[in-house]
């Protein structure tokens, strides 16, 4: 996400995304550490492609890369239209740290501990 986005705009984006996902039958988990995000979505390929095109075109995103496309037999996030997971939510809900889908997604970013480390800043 772009660095100049305010909290209200981010919250609005996440709320509208969760509502849209629920309407179109998509489930997902969204790991967020500062402005770094990892997002896993599950649903029909046609719907996922449409969402990815919207994300790609959205001016609020600075960088966007697809890390993996996989077809699974069972949903990892069946009850989550858009579950936002931050370092704080991980501390508040211990079950997230053991959730197979959350662990799989976090491993894309180096694992939960690595992903949720403070971002490294350039040397002064």
**pLDDT value at position 2?**
84
16 alpha carbon, distance to own chain's centre:
14
Identify whether the C-beta of residue 90 lies closer than 8 Å to the C-beta of residue 116: yes
The structure's pTM equals 0.82
Quote the DSSP letter at residue 20. H
Domain covering 7-115 in this structure, CATH number:
3.30.70.100
Q: Which residues fall within 8 angstroms of residue 77, CB to CB, at 6 or more apart?
A: 27, 28, 29, 40, 42, 83, 101
Question: pLDDT averaged over consecutive 10-residue blocks of the chain (124 residues)?
Answer: 88 95 96 87 95 92 85 90 92 89 84 70 45
6 alpha carbon, distance to own chain's centre:
18
Sign of the C-alpha dihedral computed for residues 33, 35, 40 and 41 taken in this order: positive
């Amino acid at each position: 996400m772009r660095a100049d986005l305010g909290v209200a705009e981010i919250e609005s984006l996440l709320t509208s995304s969760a509502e849209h996902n629920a309407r179109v039958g998509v489930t997902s988990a969204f790991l967020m550490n500062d402005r770094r995000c990892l997002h896993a979505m599950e649903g029909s390929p046609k719907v996922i492609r449409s969402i990815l095109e919207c994300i790609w075109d959205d001016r609020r995103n600075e960088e966007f890369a697809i890390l993996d496309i996989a077809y699974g037999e069972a949903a990892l996030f069946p009850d989550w239209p858009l579950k936002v997971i931050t370092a704080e939510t991980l501390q508040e809900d211990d079950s997230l740290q053991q959730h197979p889908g959350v662990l799989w997604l976090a491993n894309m970013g180096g694992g939960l501990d690595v992903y949720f480390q403070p971002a490294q800043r350039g040397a002064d």
